[in-house]
Chains A and B, each alone.
Chain A
Protein backbone atom coordinates (compact mmCIF):
# COMPACT_ATOMS: atom_id res chain seq x y z
CA UNK A 1 0.00 0.00 0.00
CA UNK A 2 1.41 3.41 -0.99
CA UNK A 3 1.77 6.24 1.49
CA UNK A 4 -1.01 8.14 -0.26
CA UNK A 5 -3.53 5.29 -0.12
CA UNK A 6 -2.51 4.57 3.47
CA UNK A 7 -3.27 8.19 4.31
CA UNK A 8 -6.62 8.00 2.51
CA UNK A 9 -7.42 4.84 4.44
CA UNK A 10 -6.63 6.61 7.71
CA UNK A 11 -8.89 9.54 6.80
CA UNK A 12 -11.67 7.16 5.86
CA UNK A 13 -11.40 5.33 9.19
CA UNK A 14 -11.36 8.66 11.03
CA UNK A 15 -14.50 9.77 9.22
CA UNK A 16 -16.25 6.48 10.03
CA UNK A 17 -15.41 6.85 13.73
CA UNK A 18 -16.64 10.45 13.83
CA UNK A 19 -19.84 9.54 11.98
CA UNK A 20 -20.54 6.74 14.44
CA UNK A 21 -19.96 8.99 17.49
CA UNK A 22 -22.06 11.82 16.06
CA UNK A 23 -25.00 9.51 15.39
CA UNK A 24 -24.67 7.93 18.86
CA UNK A 25 -24.43 11.36 20.53
CA UNK A 26 -27.46 12.63 18.62
CA UNK A 27 -29.41 9.56 19.71
CA UNK A 28 -28.28 9.96 23.32
CA UNK A 29 -29.25 13.65 23.40
CA UNK A 30 -32.72 12.87 22.03
CA UNK A 31 -33.09 10.02 24.51
CA UNK A 32 -32.01 12.23 27.43
CA UNK A 33 -34.17 15.23 26.53
CA UNK A 34 -36.98 15.63 29.07
CA UNK A 35 -40.51 15.13 27.79
CA UNK A 36 -43.42 17.36 28.68
CA UNK A 37 -45.12 17.98 25.35
CA UNK A 38 -42.35 16.36 23.28
CA UNK A 39 -41.57 19.59 21.41
CA UNK A 40 -38.08 19.94 22.85
CA UNK A 41 -37.19 16.34 22.05
CA UNK A 42 -38.34 16.67 18.45
CA UNK A 43 -36.46 19.96 17.93
CA UNK A 44 -33.01 18.37 17.69
CA UNK A 45 -31.39 18.83 14.29
CA UNK A 46 -28.28 17.27 12.84
CA UNK A 47 -26.47 18.51 9.74
CA UNK A 48 -23.28 17.29 8.11
CA UNK A 49 -21.22 20.25 6.87
CA UNK A 50 -18.15 18.34 5.69
CA UNK A 51 -16.40 15.01 6.30
CA UNK A 52 -15.49 15.83 9.89
CA UNK A 53 -17.72 18.80 10.60
CA UNK A 54 -21.22 18.25 11.96
CA UNK A 55 -23.66 20.68 13.52
CA UNK A 56 -26.11 19.52 16.16
CA UNK A 57 -28.65 22.05 17.38
CA UNK A 58 -31.85 22.57 19.29
CA UNK A 59 -33.44 25.96 18.74
CA UNK A 60 -36.33 25.77 21.21
CA UNK A 61 -36.64 28.99 23.19
CA UNK A 62 -36.26 27.30 26.58
CA UNK A 63 -33.66 24.71 25.53
CA UNK A 64 -30.83 26.52 27.30
CA UNK A 65 -32.76 26.58 30.59
CA UNK A 66 -33.52 22.85 30.47
CA UNK A 67 -30.12 21.74 29.15
CA UNK A 68 -28.25 23.42 32.02
CA UNK A 69 -29.93 21.04 34.44
CA UNK A 70 -31.33 21.65 37.91
CA UNK A 71 -29.57 24.30 39.97
CA UNK A 72 -30.24 25.91 43.31
CA UNK A 73 -32.44 28.95 43.48
CA UNK A 74 -33.30 29.03 39.79
CA UNK A 75 -36.54 28.03 38.14
CA UNK A 76 -36.11 25.70 35.22
CA UNK A 77 -34.27 22.49 34.72
CA UNK A 78 -35.92 19.11 34.79
CA UNK A 79 -35.72 16.13 37.12
CA UNK A 80 -35.50 14.02 33.97
CA UNK A 81 -32.15 15.67 33.15
CA UNK A 82 -30.82 16.94 36.51
CA UNK A 83 -27.18 17.44 35.45
CA UNK A 84 -27.96 18.91 32.04
CA UNK A 85 -26.43 17.88 28.73
CA UNK A 86 -22.85 19.05 29.32
CA UNK A 87 -21.63 15.91 31.15
CA UNK A 88 -22.98 13.87 28.21
CA UNK A 89 -21.03 16.02 25.76
CA UNK A 90 -17.87 15.65 27.86
CA UNK A 91 -18.21 11.85 28.01
CA UNK A 92 -18.69 11.54 24.26
CA UNK A 93 -15.80 13.89 23.56
CA UNK A 94 -13.57 11.87 25.89
CA UNK A 95 -14.49 8.58 24.25
CA UNK A 96 -14.10 10.01 20.74
CA UNK A 97 -10.62 11.33 21.55
CA UNK A 98 -9.62 7.93 22.97
CA UNK A 99 -10.89 6.18 19.84
CA UNK A 100 -9.07 8.59 17.50
CA UNK A 101 -5.91 8.21 19.57
CA UNK A 102 -6.03 4.42 18.99
CA UNK A 103 -6.18 5.10 15.25
CA UNK A 104 -2.90 7.01 15.44
CA UNK A 105 -1.34 3.91 16.95
Chain B
Protein backbone atom coordinates (compact mmCIF):
# COMPACT_ATOMS: atom_id res chain seq x y z
CA UNK B 1 0.00 0.00 0.00
CA UNK B 2 3.01 2.34 0.30
CA UNK B 3 3.05 4.21 -2.98
CA UNK B 4 -0.72 4.11 -3.47
CA UNK B 5 -1.27 5.41 0.05
CA UNK B 6 1.12 8.31 -0.45
CA UNK B 7 -0.56 9.34 -3.70
CA UNK B 8 -4.07 9.07 -2.26
CA UNK B 9 -3.21 10.92 0.94
CA UNK B 10 -1.60 13.83 -0.88
CA UNK B 11 -4.49 14.13 -3.32
CA UNK B 12 -6.98 14.03 -0.45
CA UNK B 13 -5.06 16.78 1.34
CA UNK B 14 -5.40 18.98 -1.75
CA UNK B 15 -9.11 18.12 -2.12
CA UNK B 16 -9.76 19.00 1.52
CA UNK B 17 -7.66 22.13 1.88
CA UNK B 18 -6.57 23.71 -1.42
CA UNK B 19 -9.00 26.50 -2.37
CA UNK B 20 -6.98 28.82 -4.61
CA UNK B 21 -7.31 27.15 -8.02
CA UNK B 22 -8.82 24.15 -9.80
CA UNK B 23 -6.72 20.98 -9.58
CA UNK B 24 -5.92 18.51 -12.33
CA UNK B 25 -5.11 15.12 -10.82
CA UNK B 26 -2.89 12.58 -12.55
CA UNK B 27 -4.91 10.53 -15.04
CA UNK B 28 -7.88 12.92 -15.12
CA UNK B 29 -8.78 15.81 -17.38
CA UNK B 30 -10.19 19.23 -16.59
CA UNK B 31 -11.33 22.07 -18.83
CA UNK B 32 -8.99 24.99 -18.12
CA UNK B 33 -10.26 27.24 -20.91
CA UNK B 34 -12.29 29.39 -18.51
CA UNK B 35 -9.70 29.51 -15.71
CA UNK B 36 -7.04 32.12 -15.03
CA UNK B 37 -4.90 29.69 -13.13
CA UNK B 38 -4.74 26.01 -12.15
CA UNK B 39 -2.40 23.37 -10.80
CA UNK B 40 -1.61 19.85 -11.90
CA UNK B 41 -0.41 17.06 -9.57
CA UNK B 42 1.79 14.11 -10.39
CA UNK B 43 3.25 11.64 -7.88
CA UNK B 44 6.31 9.66 -8.98
CA UNK B 45 7.64 6.79 -6.82
CA UNK B 46 11.43 7.11 -6.63
CA UNK B 47 12.94 4.52 -4.30
CA UNK B 48 11.79 1.88 -1.83
CA UNK B 49 14.20 0.71 0.85
CA UNK B 50 14.24 -1.57 3.87
CA UNK B 51 15.08 -0.24 7.28
CA UNK B 52 14.79 -1.37 10.88
CA UNK B 53 15.19 0.17 14.30
CA UNK B 54 16.68 -3.05 15.70
CA UNK B 55 19.63 -2.96 13.31
CA UNK B 56 18.16 -5.50 10.94
CA UNK B 57 16.50 -4.73 7.64
CA UNK B 58 13.51 -6.94 8.33
CA UNK B 59 10.00 -5.81 8.55
CA UNK B 60 9.72 -2.17 7.52
CA UNK B 61 9.83 -0.38 4.21
CA UNK B 62 10.51 3.26 3.50
CA UNK B 63 8.80 4.61 0.39
CA UNK B 64 10.44 7.62 -1.17
CA UNK B 65 8.64 9.54 -3.89
CA UNK B 66 8.39 12.90 -5.58
CA UNK B 67 5.30 15.05 -5.82
CA UNK B 68 5.42 17.32 -8.85
CA UNK B 69 3.07 20.30 -8.77
CA UNK B 70 2.83 22.18 -12.07
CA UNK B 71 1.56 25.72 -11.52
CA UNK B 72 -0.16 27.57 -14.37
CA UNK B 73 -1.13 31.23 -14.55
CA UNK B 74 -1.61 33.93 -17.17
CA UNK B 75 1.63 35.83 -16.62
CA UNK B 76 5.04 35.34 -15.05
CA UNK B 77 4.50 37.22 -11.74
CA UNK B 78 1.22 35.40 -11.09
CA UNK B 79 2.90 32.08 -11.83
CA UNK B 80 5.60 32.80 -9.26
CA UNK B 81 2.95 33.84 -6.73
CA UNK B 82 1.02 30.62 -7.32
CA UNK B 83 4.21 28.56 -6.91
CA UNK B 84 4.87 30.37 -3.64
CA UNK B 85 1.35 29.51 -2.45
CA UNK B 86 1.92 25.83 -3.24
CA UNK B 87 5.25 25.86 -1.38
CA UNK B 88 3.61 27.43 1.65
CA UNK B 89 0.70 25.00 1.47
CA UNK B 90 2.72 21.80 1.49
CA UNK B 91 6.33 22.33 2.60
CA UNK B 92 7.43 20.41 5.70
CA UNK B 93 4.00 18.92 6.41
CA UNK B 94 3.21 15.62 8.02
CA UNK B 95 -0.02 14.36 6.46
CA UNK B 96 -2.34 11.53 7.48
CA UNK B 97 -0.85 8.02 7.64
CA UNK B 98 2.56 9.50 8.54
CA UNK B 99 3.21 10.80 5.05
CA UNK B 100 6.15 13.20 5.44
CA UNK B 101 6.52 16.00 2.91
CA UNK B 102 9.91 17.72 2.77
CA UNK B 103 10.48 21.38 1.98
CA UNK B 104 9.55 22.09 -1.65
CA UNK B 105 11.79 23.28 -4.45
CA UNK B 106 10.89 25.42 -7.45
CA UNK B 107 12.65 23.87 -10.44
CA UNK B 108 13.70 26.57 -12.84
CA UNK B 109 11.77 29.63 -13.90
CA UNK B 110 8.34 30.23 -15.44
CA UNK B 111 8.16 29.02 -19.02
CA UNK B 112 5.67 29.91 -21.73
CA UNK B 113 3.65 26.79 -22.55
CA UNK B 114 2.18 28.13 -25.83
CA UNK B 115 -1.38 27.56 -24.57
CA UNK B 116 -1.90 30.99 -22.97
CA UNK B 117 -0.38 29.93 -19.66
CA UNK B 118 3.00 30.16 -18.00
CA UNK B 119 4.22 27.15 -16.06
CA UNK B 120 6.38 26.63 -12.99
CA UNK B 121 7.28 23.26 -11.53
CA UNK B 122 7.51 22.77 -7.78
CA UNK B 123 8.74 19.42 -6.46
CA UNK B 124 8.46 17.87 -3.01
CA UNK B 125 10.29 14.85 -1.65
CA UNK B 126 7.77 12.56 0.05
CA UNK B 127 8.56 9.76 2.52
CA UNK B 128 6.31 7.29 4.24
CA UNK B 129 7.02 4.24 6.35
CA UNK B 130 5.27 0.89 6.48
**Which residues from B are CB-within-8-Å of A75?**
113-115
From B29, B64, B125, A72 is in contact (CB under 8 Å) with: B29
Q: How many residues of A contact B (CB 8 A)?
A: 18
Find the A residue at minimum CB distance from B114. Answer: A75
Q: How far is the CA of A49 from the CA of B42 in the complex (A)?
A: 34
Q: How far is the CA of A86 from the CA of B121 in the complex (A)?
A: 10
**Residue pair B44, A87 in contact (C-beta under 8 Å):** yes
**Residue pair B40, A71 in contact (C-beta under 8 Å):** yes
Using CB atoms and an 8 Å cutoff, list the residues of chain B in contact with chain A: 24, 29-30, 32, 40, 42, 44, 46-47, 64, 66, 68, 70, 107-108, 111, 113-115, 117, 119, 121, 123, 125
Quick check: is A28 within 8 A (CB to CB) of the other chain?
no
Q: How far is the CA of A91 from the CA of B123 in the complex (A)?
A: 13
**Which residues from A are CB-within-8-Å of B111?**
64-65
Q: How far is the CA of A101 from the CA of B24 in the complex (A)?
A: 38
> From DSSP, what is the main secondary structure of chain A's interface residues?
loop
> From DSSP, what is the main secondary structure of chain B's interface residues?
strand
Instruction: Across the A-B interface, give the 6 residue pairs with the lowest CB-CB distance, nearest first.
Output: A87-B44, A83-B44, A74-B113, A87-B66, A91-B46, A87-B46
**Residue pair B123, A86 in contact (C-beta under 8 Å):** yes
Q: How far is the CA of A71 from the CA of B108 in the complex (A)?
A: 16
**Which residues from A are CB-within-8-Å of B47?**
91, 94-95
Find the A residue at minimum CB distance from B102. Answer: A90
Q: How far is the CA of A90 from the CA of B65 in the complex (A)?
A: 9
Using CB atoms and an 8 Å cutoff, list the residues of chain A in contact with chain B: 64-65, 68-69, 71-76, 83-84, 86-87, 90-91, 94-95
**Residue pair B68, A69 in contact (C-beta under 8 Å):** yes
Find the B residue at minimum CB distance from A84. Answer: B68
**Which residues from B are CB-within-8-Å of A90?**
46, 64, 66, 123, 125
**Which residues from B are CB-within-8-Å of A94?**
46-47, 64
Provide a sorted-by-A list of 24 A–B residue pairs whose CB atoms are within 8 angstroms: A64-B108, A68-B107, A69-B42, A69-B68, A71-B42, A71-B70, A72-B24, A72-B30, A74-B70, A74-B113, A74-B117, A74-B119, A75-B113, A76-B113, A83-B42, A84-B121, A86-B68, A86-B121, A90-B46, A91-B46, A91-B47, A91-B64, A94-B47, A95-B47
